[in-house]
């Protein structure tokens, strides 16, 4: 019995651990950088900057020797437990900073939006301003603020990129840490931990920090272009840089060859001192195992200007490769043929319906005209009969010998009246459906 209970406990714990682990596989980085998306140069923004640069290059000092290590074979299978503070550091620190205050007015603070998610803080703030607010209204406002912050994380904003690579547990962990960062009471008891692989950690760093300034793919710039401000793409990083150089460049700063003739310079890339060696290695391994998606260079925005000032970034933009228009397989061809057939059938139905409507309008108009004419004939006949009766009455009053009626004339009037009258059968034939009349070959409008 004890063994059975122990097995159940182990199964439940393993399921809970697997639920906390991110189930989605990493996806390669693609598209232009966020700075190119916003049409901003590196000098015009505070995004992706930490305020720290690498050490200056002393005179007559060569670049240190480089070597290429081999990553561990099982490094992709290691599972690391991350907290909200770690996820904030990997995804948000590059723009909002360690304290979450941002760099106003370009980068907003996350403190006030986070405090707006607390109903208790809303009530306290309103009372400080002598404004009465019920707990229900404060809770509703807090829920609205939470929904707005979640939408900003998933969909981004005008100046903030979206983070579609974040899973729901990761988002909840980040929100819990933001409450702790904003000083919300009881936030320390709401912290959430998630299990991540090394590749997912590298994906966080590359997509949330590196992709702010670096395009996903493109040609590797030469030393002169680097001196003029061109930022190299991520697709060539693992081919031109070894892991030790990359780790030193990211965490401490390393010299690069710039200018013409090429000389060692400190460079403009900030130092991301808050990343560990293992996390930087995870980013490097992620770029090796999931190479950035190739892109097509835009000739309208990728032209370089020879007279551009030093230190400015050339506006080199890349766009995603356009999708193929032709069908790739038989299923796509069948779908296209089906869509064309449905469109043709719908067009024919509309044409037939339009023709039938015009035909019915003409038919009903003709019937209406016939009824109008028959009504006028009946009215004239009634007037004639009334006039004849009046004449007979007037003659009978003034004469003792009334006129002898003409039998032939009366028969002709009655026959003509019957021919022009609208009989009951006409009404019955008019009320029948158009399908019955079409089958029988009848048409009142003819």
- 280-326 pLDDT, tens digit per residue, is 999 999 999 999 987 654 444 443 333 333 333 333 333 333 333 34
Task: Identify the band that residue 414 occupies on the pLDDT scale cut at 50, 70 and 90.
Answer: low
Rg for the chain, CA atoms, rounded: 43
- Residue whose C-alpha is closest to residue 74's, from 277, 285, 292, 298: 285
Task: Identify the band that residue 408 occupies on the pLDDT scale cut at 50, 70 and 90.
Answer: low
**What pLDDT score was predicted for residue 209?**
94
Q: What is the mean pLDDT of residues 113-131?
A: 91
Phi, psi dihedrals of residue 296, rounded to the nearest 5°? -105, 130
DSSP labels, 196-262: EEHHHHHHHHHHHTGGGTS-SS-PPP-HHHHHTTPPPPSTTHHHH--HHHHHHHHHT---EEETTTT
Q: What is the mean pLDDT of residues 2-12?
A: 44
User: What contacts 383, CB < 8 A, 6 or more positions away?
Assistant: none
Task: Identify the band that residue 363 occupies on the pLDDT scale cut at 50, 70 and 90.
Answer: confident
Q: What is the mean pLDDT of residues 350-379?
A: 82
Inform me whether the pLDDT recorded for 415 exceeds 90.
no
In the chain, % helix, strand, coil (3-state, to 5) comes to 55, 5, 40
Q: Percentage of the chain with pLDDT > 90?
A: 41
Q: How far apart are CA 31 and CA 296, in angstroms?
A: 10
| pLDDT one-digit tens code per residue, 373-405 | 777 766 776 776 676 666 555 545 554 555 555
Q: What is the mean pLDDT of residues 32-41?
A: 92
Interhelix angle 277-289/198-208, rounded to 10 degrees, is 90
**What pLDDT score was predicted for residue 232?**
93
Q: Which residue has the higher pLDDT, 335 or 1?
A: 335
With 0.75 as the threshold, say if the pTM is over it.
no
Inform me whether the pLDDT recorded for 62 exceeds 80.
no
Residue with tokens 């719908």: 346
């Amino acid at each position: 019995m004890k063994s059975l209970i122990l097995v159940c406990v182990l199964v439940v714990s393993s399921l809970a651990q697997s639920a906390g682990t991110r189930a989605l596989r990493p996806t390669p980085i693609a598209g232009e950088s966020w700075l190119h998306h916003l049409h901003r140069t590196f000098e015009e923004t505070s995004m992706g900057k930490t305020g720290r640069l690498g050490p200056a290059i002393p005179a007559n000092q060569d670049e240190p020797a480089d070597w290429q290590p081999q990553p561990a074979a099982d490094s992709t299978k290691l599972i690391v437990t991350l907290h909200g503070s770690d996820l904030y550091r990997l995804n948000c620190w590059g723009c909002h900073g360690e304290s979450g205050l941002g760099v106003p007015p370009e980068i907003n603070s996350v403190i006030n939006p986070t405090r707006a998610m607390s109903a208790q803080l809303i009530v306290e703030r309103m009372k400080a301003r002598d404004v009465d607010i019920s707990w229900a209204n404060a809770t509703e406002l807090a829920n609205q603020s939470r929904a707005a912050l979640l939408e900003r994380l998933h969909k981004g904003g005008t100046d903030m990129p979206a983070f579609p690579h974040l899973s729901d547990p990761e988002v909840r962990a980040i929100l819990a840490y933001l409450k702790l960062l904003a000083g919300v009471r009881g936030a320390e008891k709401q912290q959430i931990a998630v299990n991540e692989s090394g590749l997912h950690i590298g994906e966080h760093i590359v997509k949330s920090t590196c992709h702010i300034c670096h395009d996903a793919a493109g040609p590797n710039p030469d030393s002169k272009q680097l001196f003029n401000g061109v930022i190299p793409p991520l697709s060539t990083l693992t081919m031109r840089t070894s892991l030790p150089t990359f780790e030193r460049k990211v965490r401490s700063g390393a010299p690069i060859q710039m200018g013409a003739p090429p000389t060692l310079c400190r460079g403009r890339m900030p130092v991301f001192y808050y990343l560990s060696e293992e996390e930087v290695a995870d980013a490097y391994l992620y770029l090796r195992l999931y190479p950035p998606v190739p892109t097509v260079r835009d000739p309208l925005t990728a032209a370089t200007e020879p007279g551009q000032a030093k230190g400015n970034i050339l506006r080199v933009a890349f766009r995603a490769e356009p999708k193929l228009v032709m069908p790739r397989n038989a299923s796509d061809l069948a779908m296209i043929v089906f869509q064309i057939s449905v469109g043709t059938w719908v067009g024919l139905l509309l044409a037939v319906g339009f023709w039938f409507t015009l035909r019915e309008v003409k038919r009903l108009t003709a019937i209406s005209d016939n009824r109008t004419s028959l009504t006028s004939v009946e009215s004239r006949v009634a007037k004639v009969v009334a006039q004849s009766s009046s004449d007979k009455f007037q003659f009978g009053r003034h004469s003792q010998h009334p006129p002898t009626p003409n039998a032939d004339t009366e028969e002709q009037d009655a026959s003509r009246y019957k021919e022009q009258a609208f009989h009951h059968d006409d009404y019955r034939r008019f009320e029948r459906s158009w399908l019955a009349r079409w089958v029988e070959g009848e048409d009142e409008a003819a």
